[in-house]
């Protein structure tokens, strides 16, 4: 008998596979392919206090080994999410994570206060958003900025709170430690890497904002290294994200210390990839006589530390 359940921040997930924020929307489109109840969890599209239409021009651009995106956090706003999308998600019999962003600390706080009164299970605080009062530098780049936003949101948040880290931070381990000190109960990493593409025929950047976010299999080795470094440093759950395309990738992240994984760009390649990964993990556990994922979580560094 195998047990794929994991516990994160006191919330039980039936398995460690979560649909990541951004590429899964709110789950409606993927429900046409498989029952969403099979998932460990669904992380909502990035939400902001007010509705956003997103960026103009090219939004998705395929590159070698991944995708560049400049969506611009298009979303219905917190009130629109609660009214239009959350009722559907609540019917799916899976853990619901709400990814929350903002341009100011006040926006984060107001959004979380609204979500406090809903049935979502976990807040995933996205600190990769640009801090408009600091000239557009993301909250998740400097430790002091991250500490400030996380600590102030933690004061009002009545839900378990996970902080999503940017790989573009000054130092990912120091950033993780700052978030833990500020009150984070879990961490998810990594968000997209900063990248760009140039249209050589029009002699200009592909994206109107020039810089975009890189995701997909090309970032996996770097994301895996960051999850490893953070997991063996902090004593709170870590969710691994970055280029996971099959069950072997997911197992690698778990062996590096992740409690669970999120699947992002892979959903565009194969709409049933999350289900395939869940089934692959189950087969691997049976073949390797692994009864619980706790047996292999952090196995590559756990024995060394002990």
* pLDDT, tens digit (0-9, with 9 covering 90-100), for 56-92: 999 999 999 999 999 999 999 999 999 999 999 999 9
Structure pTM?
A: 0.97
157 is a catalytic site residue? no
Q: Please identify which of the residues 129, 157, 179, 306 carries the catalytic annotation.
A: 129
User: Looking at the predicted structure, is the pLDDT value of residue 306 above 80?
Assistant: no
9, 215, 274 from 67: Cα distances, Å: 31, 5, 18
pLDDT tens digit sequence for 160-202: 999 999 999 999 999 999 999 999 999 999 999 999 999 999 9
3, 109, 203, 229, 291 from 286: Cα distances, Å: 10, 44, 54, 29, 8
pLDDT tens digit sequence for 17-32: 999 999 999 999 999 9
| Whole-angstrom distance, CA of residue 49 vs CA of residue 115 | 10
| Whole-angstrom distance, CA of residue 253 vs CA of residue 259 | 9
- The pLDDT confidence band at residue 304, using thresholds 50, 70 and 90, is low
């Amino acid at each position: 008998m195998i047990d794929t359940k994991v516990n994160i921040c006191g919330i039980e997930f039936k398995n460690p596979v979560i649909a990541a924020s951004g590429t899964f929307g709110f789950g409606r489109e993927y429900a046409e392919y498989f029952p969403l109840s099979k998932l460990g969890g669904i992380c909502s599209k990035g939400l902001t206090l007010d509705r956003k239409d997103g960026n103009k021009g090219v939004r998705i651009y395929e590159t070698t080994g991944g995708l560049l995106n400049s969506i611009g956090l298009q979303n219905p706003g917190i009130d629109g999410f609660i009214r239009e999308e959350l009722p559907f998600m609540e019917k799916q019999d899976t853990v619901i994570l709400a990814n929350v962003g903002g341009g100011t600390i006040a926006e984060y706080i107001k959004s979380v206060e609204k979500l406090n009164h809903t049935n979502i299970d976990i807040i995933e605080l996205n600190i990769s958003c640009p801090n408009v009062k600091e000239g557009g530098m993301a909250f998740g780049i400097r430790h002091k900025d991250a500490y400030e936003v996380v600590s102030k949101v933690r004061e009002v948040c009545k839900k378990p709170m996970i902080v999503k880290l940017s790989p573009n931070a000054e130092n990912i381990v120091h950033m993780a430690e700052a978030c833990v000190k500020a009150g984070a109960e879990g961490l998810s990493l990594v968000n997209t890497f900063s990248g760009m593409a140039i249209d050589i025929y029009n002699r200009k950047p592909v994206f109107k904002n020039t810089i975009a976010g890189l995701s997909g299999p090309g970032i996996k080795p770097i994301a895996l290294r960051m999850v490893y470094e953070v997991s063996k440093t902090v004593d709170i759950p870590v969710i691994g994200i970055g280029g996971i395309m099959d069950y072997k990738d997911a197992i690698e992240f778990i062996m590096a210390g992740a409690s669970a994984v999120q699947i992002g760009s892979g959903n565009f390649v194969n709409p049933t990839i999350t289900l395939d990964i869940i089934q692959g993990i189950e087969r691997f556990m049976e073949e390797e006589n692994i009864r619980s994922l706790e047996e292999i979580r952090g196995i590559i560094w756990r024995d060394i530390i002990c």
